Each structure stands twice: as structure tokens, then as C-alpha cells.
Amino acid sequence: MKFTTIVIATLLVGAESRERVLKGNKKGICKKDAPKMNDFMKQMLYNAGAEADLDNLHKIGSITALIPEAADASVTGATVKDGMSGDTDFPHGSLKTLATVGEVSTCKSSKGEMLVGVPDGLGSYLYDNDTVRAICQSESYGPLRYESYPFPVNDGAATFTGSHVQYVDYDRERLSKFMEHDGPASDMVKGFGESIEYAYNLKGELVGPRNKSGPTTYGAHFSNTDAEGNYVVVSEPTRADWLMQSLCSAHLEEKHQWGEGIGLEDDIFITNEEWNTYETDVESLVGLSSHAIDLATKTDYAIGAMTNGGFEKIVEINPLHEDYVIFSVSGYNGSFGSYDKVIEKRNDAYSRPDNKPYVKPQNIVPARVYIGIKGKMEDGSDAPADDFLARNGLRYGKMYGFAIDMSESGPTGGMWRDAFHKDPSTGVNGNQIDGVFTPINWQWDGDVKNFEHDGSWDFQEQPPLHLGSNNHFWNGNGADTEGCKTEHNSPDPRVGISGFVQTSTCGYFGHYYLSNIEELLSGLSGTELPGDISASYYVYQGEVDITSQIELGGKGQYNDGQSALTNCDSTSCSKLTFEDIDGFEVLESDGKMYAIMQEDSGNDYGERMFITNALEHNGTPVTYYFIAMSGGSNNTRMMAGVGIPAGVSSGANSHEFSGIHDMSGLLKRKDGKKGKWELSADDKGHRKRAADRDVSINDKTIFIGLQAHNFYSGVIEAFEGDRGGQWLAYQPNIPV
């Protein structure tokens, strides 16, 4: 038997052990379908060493205990016991558990797999009229950290370890009532599985087995190799062919989500490999592509058209035109460890217009967008109708960066992006910066080349359309020095607007508007792409003191007597600004925009999550309502070894909320609780957007991810589930 999925294909042993797994779930939809175990599977279970911990092995959705808490147990007197919740009296809405890493599938449609962590980018859609499919990827690092069990692709031709993209199917009717009772999610679980069953590489080849003694000349996963197919990652998978490295955030984009005929032509889960560590003194590497998963066929396509510098998050924004797609692109841009020889090759092959040497491109980027033409191949020719990437505008397009006048008389007085937001006189709500999104020279031609030829370096250059002027890409810290990372981004969901909100690890965020895109695109034809696109940026929040803007609602107390008004490290709770805004998503309600914000700062007392009031960039500071906190090396429950499931804690350490998706439209009825569903599975994305819009903020059901980096013992370790975490449902309760 080829070792493919799952060492844990397997988890449920004989009748007695199966009852322990399934206990407390008499109404579980999948119970009657629980697979029987044969002797071979029992032996695999025994070999995994988990036979002594079956009491902590649970069916998906059966755990109701919550990892997050409203305040530290030392303050509230909440129970401190392995496997149990802490303080769940959340001040601004309710949280419930949808799934927990370490739980296993008992559905006949699956193979008994374990949910893999740590949860990150996520989404949901109607699989059919009775089923909501929740999809989530794991930010897993394979042999570079904790190697998850392998999953097969292309009918078993190749296997991947590292990040998985998995789904859980929930009964729609039961999910619509889930926030009204205390029952477990297992009562509504209908199915579970991997979302990637087929995979194509950057050359358009089906990914195949890795040649372990030389280059893989056909079917290489180029994120792991150089252009010749030589494996160059610092560590090799133990059992799998390839490493799917650090799928970070992701965004679910439904067909025509911006209007009839406007937007993608398929339902896509768009994701990305974020960073990697290549061999010391690596001489050649391709880099990290983005990935488009066709949800209808469970097929993953590597995308080269957005550069190959690796990404944090990619989101579709409204192009206001049927023939084009536009994506906001965010992330590191070249976080590959040390690759000095590759930098040397770049300088040997290319010259910067200012005659300075190219430097490592990591975090030397402005806000970016990709504009593609639907139906075109890389050379501009018409594509076959069945070409998935071309049909969705992901073969022929250009990358654009936000550029401004950087002279002393320019809109920032010559300040780069990070400094501008850190200055208390300029990093204030409502400050406006006018500029343009302007194209770089590089364009993907379909030929897989090594990274020195990639477009990631182009943002160190002066924009090609502005040579000799004062206009430059508005990078974090200039063209020669790394700035703060452009972290999460979110599309403006409102009707008729092309724009997005962008955050930074420096703790600031703001809104970019493409002001004349509809007019520009309407004036083009054939293979024409626009030149400069007039744009404006508005600050929502600078990297300045936010303590007066936070509403704790009586919760958020830390272990040491301080509170979630501040962010803490090992020495003090003196951080008054946001720190490392990571998870971020804009939600629309009744024509207003709200945002959920999740930090990734390593807060020693518990990572924070907030929801804003209605966003405005009119000079009025944003209000941040505290939702919950989780983890922390100085958190009482973490120091006591509390883990969920029980037995998985490996000591006190940080957590991270990560991932937000509005489920509300999927659960909306036309005439109240007993009416017919607003949406059907055949409806296009703009109907989902409209349904979301019509649900008031405090009536929404929001899908949230939580990463628990210190949960890697017990059943998670035994069955190679990476690290822990939870899929959560959140219903806000804030002043409106």
C-alpha cells in the first residue's frame, strides 16, 4: 500500500474505542456512517502510539470547550482544567466551537482523517441547498517545523506534506440555529475531506513524484525547486514527495461576486505559499507562487502571473468591468532565508535605473494590485474555453504598485509609508494621500525561470512610466531597506466601488481606492492593459496610541493585573499601539463597513481580537470592541498546561486568531426564521454579497480561525496533525 493519506486513515478502532470517540454525540449525522476498522488499520493505530490516549480522540465538532477566553482565569476564577474552557463570558458577542484540531472524521465519505492545524485562511459556500461547506487551510511547515501527515494528489501519483486545505460540511438548517443553543457542532457535521485532489504546477503539468537523486524534469512542485527541478528546500519530507509550505491566509472568491458577469468565472479558493527556507548558499530557486483552487473539481493550479515572491493574502476586488479581474496582493515578497548568490545573479543580469545594486526584496513593496484579462493566454492569444487560469484572467496580466510624489512638496513630505503612519501628526484617521497604481515592467510569460528574473525586484526601481520624476513606489522604508510587511487585506464590499483595505505588521491600516478604473478599462480593447490608474489612500489607523479607542466591556484582564488595553511582551505591557495586525476582514452590514482585527504579536498574556464600529475615514478615530484573547506564555491556563483537546499542551506559548469569513448570507431566510432560504447553491457571488449586506452586524454568523501553536502533543502529535487550534462561529453584540 502506498503511504498516502493517512497514517490515520484509520483512527477508529473496535466497538469499545469507537464509542469513546463518539460518546456524547447521539444525534451526530455522521455516526451511522462511521467506518469499520480492519486489522491493518488497527496496527497502524497501534504503531502511531495513540492507543493510550483514545479518551482524548473526538469526532469532528464534538468538543464544545473553547480555547479563547474573555479574561484570565486568575481574575475571573474560571476553572483551570485540561480540556475545559476558561472564562467564556465574552463582552461583545458569543463564540462557539465548530471544529477543533485533533478531532477526527467519522463520516463514510472521508477516510478517518484528523483535522490539521494551525487554522488560517478560510471561507464557506453552499455545497448544495442543504449543506454549507466550510473550508480552511493549515499554515503548516512540513519538515521545517511539525510535519503533517501526507495527502495524495493526481490519483496517488504524488504526495504533499505541510499545509492542507480541508473542508467540513455542515447541515444548513442546523447551522442556522447553531448560535441559539449550547449543543455541539458534531450534531450537524455531514462530511469532511481534502480540498486538493489534483494539482498542476507552474508549467501546467500535473504534479508528479519527486526524483530524490536528481532533478524532477516533469511535474515538479517549483516552490521546492529551481527551474530545472532540483530540490533546494533546506529539509526534505520524511514520507511525502513535496512540501506545501506555509499556506497562509486565503480568500474564497465566488463567481461573478461583483455583479452579473463581473468578476471570476469560477468559484475559487485563492491561497498562497508565504515563506520558505532554502538550502544554505542556494544558487537558484524559483520562489513561491500563489494558488487557485477550483472548488468544483478540487484542483489546485499554481499561478505565476502575480510574481513568485510569496504572499500573505490575495483578495479579488471589484473591477467594474466584465472583461477584467483585479486582485489586491499582500505579503513578504521574498522571505526565503539567505540567498546571497541569487541576489548576485540578479545584479549580474539586470541594472536598476538609479544604478544602485538590487538588495533582498523582502518587504520592499508598496500596496499592490494585479490586473488580468479574462480569456487570454500568456502571449495574449485567445485561450481555449476550458483553460481554467485563462478563463479567470490569471495568465495574462500585470502587477501594479501604489506610487506617489516623494519630494518634500509631495503629499507625505517625503516620508515613506511606515514613518508616515508612525508620526502622530500624520498617522491620523482621514489623512488622504493621492497617487497612482502604476505597472512594473515584468510580466509573466508562462516560462518557469529562476527567481533572479522575477518581478518581485521591480519595486526597488522607479516606476517605468515615471522615470526622472519625483514619483516612486510608496514602500514601507524606501527602495533599499526592508520595511514592515504588508499583512492582511480585504476588499471593499460595497456596490460600485473598486478598492481594498490594507494592514501592516506595524499596526496601521487604511483604504485604497482605484478612482477611475471603470473608465480606463472601458477604453481598452484586445490585450491592452491600463497604464497609470488614479488612486487615493485614506488612513483609518496610524501606528499611534489606541488605548483610548478600545472598549473592553468589563473583560480583557491579564494575569498580572493589567488589561488588553495594551500589548505585552516578556518585559512589560507597554505597547500602546496595535502590534502585528494579521487577520483582518471587512464585513458589510446595512451599507456600513465593519472590520474584525486579529493580532499576531506574541502577546505574553493572550493575543487580542477586536471588532470595529462602522469604519469611516472622516477624522473620527475608530472604536475597537474587544472580542476575546487566547494563549500567552504568562496566561494562567496556558501555564497550567490546559489544552483542547486534553493532553495536547506542550507548555505555555502564544496563540493567534487568524481568518474571518461572513457566513450570514448563506443562512439568511427571506421571511424570518421560518421562511425559505434567500440563496440557492446555483446563485452567483453577487447574490451572496447582497445577502450578507442585508444581515445586521449583530445578527451575523462569522467564521473565525484560531491557531494554538503550543498544542502539539497528545493526539495531535500521534496522528501528525501539526499544531492545534479551532474553527469558531462568532455572533457580534456591539453598539450600532
pLDDT digits (tens, 9 = 90+) for 585-597: 999 998 999 999 9
CA-to-CA distance for 153 and 208, rounded, in angstroms? Answer: 8
pLDDT at position 4 is 34
pTM: 0.94
Q: What is the pLDDT of residues 397-436, one digit of tens each?
A: 999 999 999 999 999 999 999 999 999 999 999 999 999 9
Do the domain assignments include residue 381?
yes
Residue 220: predicted pLDDT: 98
Q: How far apart are alpha carbons 567 and 605 in whole angstroms?
A: 8
Q: Is residue 372 over pLDDT 70?
A: yes
pLDDT of amino acid 109: 67
Q: Looking at the predicted structure, is the pLDDT value of residue 569 above 80? A: no
> Does residue 215 have a pLDDT over 70?
yes
Indicate the number of domains in the chain: 1
pLDDT for the residue numbered 52: 44
And the C-alpha cell for 404?
506617489
Q: Decide if 445 contacts 378 (C-beta within 8 A).
A: yes
In a domain, 122, yes or no: no
Does residue 465 lie in a domain region? yes
State the Cα–Cα distance between residues 595 and 584, nearest whole angstrom: 7
- Give pLDDT, residue 716: 92
Pairing state of beta strands 198-200 and 119-128?
unpaired
Cβ atoms 128, 681 nearer than 8 A: yes
463 band by pLDDT with thresholds 50, 70 and 90? very high
Alpha carbon separation from 23 to 67, 116, 496, 535, 671 (Å, rounded):
21, 22, 51, 57, 37
Residue 457 binned pLDDT confidence (cut-offs 50, 70, 90): very high
- The closest of 192, 188, 174, 179 to 25, measured between CA atoms, is 188
Mean pLDDT of all residues belonging to the chain: 92
Mean pLDDT of 256-264: 98
Q: Is 287 left (phi over 0), alpha (psi -120 to 50) or beta?
A: left
Tell me, yes or no, whether 459 lies in a domain: yes
Q: Which pLDDT score is estimated for 26?
A: 41
Task: Return the residue matching grid coordinates 514592515.
Answer: 484
281-323 tens-digit pLDDT: 999 999 999 999 999 999 999 999 999 999 999 999 999 999 9
Residue 384 domain flag: yes
What pLDDT, on the 0 to 100 scale, is given for residue 106? Answer: 81
- Tens digit of each residue's pLDDT (9 = 90 or more) over 65-117: 999 999 999 999 999 999 999 999 999 999 999 999 999 888 776 666 889 99
pLDDT at residue 356 is higher than 90: yes
Q: What is the pLDDT confidence band of residue 7, given thresholds at 50, 70 and 90?
A: very low
> How confident is the model at residue 110, as a pLDDT?
66
- For strand 702-708 and strand 509-514, is the pairing parallel, antiparallel, or unpaired? unpaired
Q: Residues 507-559: pLDDT tens digits?
A: 999 999 999 999 999 999 999 999 999 999 999 999 999 999 999 999 999 99
- HSE, CB side, 13 Å, CA atoms: give it for residue 267: 20
Task: Look at residue 634 and tell me whether its pLDDT is greater than 90.
Answer: yes
List of E strands, 260-357: 268-272, 290-294, 299-303, 313-317, 324-330
DSSP class of residue 464? G
Polymer length in residues for the chain: 736
Question: At 75, phi and psi to the nearest 5?
Answer: -95, -40
pLDDT (tens digit, 9 = 90+) per residue, 431-456? 999 999 999 999 999 999 999 999 99
Give the sign of the dihedral formed by CA 710, CA 714, CA 718, CA 724.
negative
Its domain, for residue 369, covers 314-543
Question: By three-state DSSP, how is residue 562 classified?
Answer: coil
Percent of the chain with pLDDT over 90: 87
Enter the C-alpha cell of residue 570. 516578556
Residue range 27-78, pLDDT digits in tens: 446 654 444 444 434 444 444 444 546 667 789 999 999 999 999 999 999 9
Give how far the C-alpha of residue 469 lies from the chain's centroid of Cα atoms, to the nearest Å. 37
Distances (CA, A) of 636 to 85, 156, 312, 632, 713: 12, 45, 32, 9, 19
Q: What is the C-alpha to C-alpha distance for residues 279 and 286, in angstroms, rounded to an integer? A: 13
Residue 1 predicted with pLDDT over 80: no
Alpha-carbon dihedral 253, 709, 609, 188, rounded to 10 degrees:
60
The pLDDT, as a whole number, for residue 572 is 80
Helix (H, G, I), strand (E, B) or coil at 628: strand
How many whole angstroms separate alpha carbon 611 and alpha carbon 589? 13
* DSSP single-letter state for residue 690: H
* Residue-wise burial string across 513-551, b where 16 or more C-beta atoms lie within 10 A, e elsewhere: bbbebeebbeeeeeeebbebbebbbbbbbbbbebeebbb
